[in-house]
Amino acid sequence: MAVTTIDLDQPLLDDAKQLTGARSNREVVQRALETRIAVRRQPAAVERIIARDFAEDPTAADELRP
């Protein structure tokens, strides 16, 4: 795991912690990154579903953790 220092708006971080129930700043940032990636991938996933373009091996599909 990479160790990175970032400056964050403390009130924004506090709001995110409260809304997500996260216990640490690291957890808030991790959840934010995972959510952002999932949101960006969602339209492509919907298009594949509409086109019925499924992977032959469903176990090879990308995995997104909540």
Residue recorded with tokens 């709001």 = 15
Reading the chain (66 residues) residue by residue, the pLDDT tens digits are: 788 899 999 999 999 999 999 999 999 999 999 999 988 888 877 787 788 776 676 666 666 555
pLDDT at site 60: 63
